[in-house]
């Protein structure tokens, strides 16, 4: 299964913005929506083509409410995500999967403590993606995330154009 994760702009509640609009709600209604990170919406699709098609269907909303649209395609990488543009390039055979791993955007992932009356201060909310860092993979090792102290990282493969922008 191919996963899609939409990362909301800091200024909006992405889940609300998508589900409060009929066209976006209709496009998402056949999927099981999840929130793997704070202010994200994620779904599983049957293929890379279906993932890119869904992103194309949601384009109006992506431009207005989304900071990043990520796609995880197991035939490309089990652990790393693709940007929307790179996913489309792989789907359209403009780039082969083995040509996708040089240019990277690495997000820090922070765990968040959420205090509620029922759970108390020990409960955690969804982790939060913070400050992406652009890096180039030159060998097997990815440069270490050094923008702040984080619990883990999330690696996104991007196109050369996205990397240079």
* pLDDT at position 83 over 70: yes
CA dihedral 20, 23, 24, 27 (to 10 degrees): 140
| pLDDT tens, residue by residue, 22-40 | 999 999 999 999 999 999 9
* pLDDT at position 133 over 70: yes
The DSSP-derived string for 96-149 is -GGGSSSEEEEEEEEEEE--BTTTBTT-EEEEEEEEEEEEE--SSPPPPP-SS-
- Provide mean pLDDT across the span 118-125: 65
* pLDDT at position 82 over 80: yes
* pLDDT at position 146 over 80: yes
Phi and psi, residue 31, nearest 5°: -105, 155
How far apart are the C-alpha atoms of 72 and 142, rounded to whole Å? 18
Task: Give the chain's domains with CATH numbers.
Answer: 2-95 (3.30.70), 103-164 (no CATH)
* pLDDT at position 97 over 60: yes
* pLDDT at position 114 over 70: no
Provide the mean pLDDT of the chain.
92
């Amino acid at each position: 299964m191919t996963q899609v994760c939409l990362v909301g702009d800091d200024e909006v509640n992405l889940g609300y913005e998508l589900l409060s609009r009929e066209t976006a709600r209709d496009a998402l209604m056949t999927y099981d929506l999840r929130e793997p990170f704070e202010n994200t919406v994620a779904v599983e699709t049957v293929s890379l083509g279906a993932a890119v098609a869904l992103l194309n269907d949601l384009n109006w909303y992506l431009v207005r409410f989304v900071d990043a649209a990520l796609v995880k395609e197991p035939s490309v990488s089990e652990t790393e995500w693709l940007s929307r543009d790179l996913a489309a390039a792989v789907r359209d055979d403009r780039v082969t999967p083995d040509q996708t791993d040089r240019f990277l955007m690495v997000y820090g992932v922070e765990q968040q403590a959420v205090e509620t009356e029922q759970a108390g201060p020990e409960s955690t909310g969804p982790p939060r993606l913070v400050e992406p860092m652009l890096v180039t993979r030159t060998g097997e090792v990815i440069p270490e995330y050094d923008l702040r102290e984080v619990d883990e990282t999330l690696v996104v493969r991007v196109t050369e154009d996205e990397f240079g922008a």
